[in-house]
Amino acid sequence: MEYSTFGRHVAVDAWGIDFDLLNNAEFLQSHMVEAAEACGATVLSVQSKQFEPQGATVLVLLSESHLSIHTYPEKGFAALDCYTCGETVDPQLAIDYMLSILKPTAAHAKKLVRGMGELQVEEPKMKQIELV
Q: Any idea which residues carry the catalytic annotation? A: 65, 70, 85
102 vs 1: CA distance, rounded Å: 40
Helix (H, G, I), strand (E, B) or coil at 65: strand
Residues 6+ apart with CB under 8 A from 56: 22, 23, 24, 25, 28, 48, 49, 50, 69, 70, 71, 73
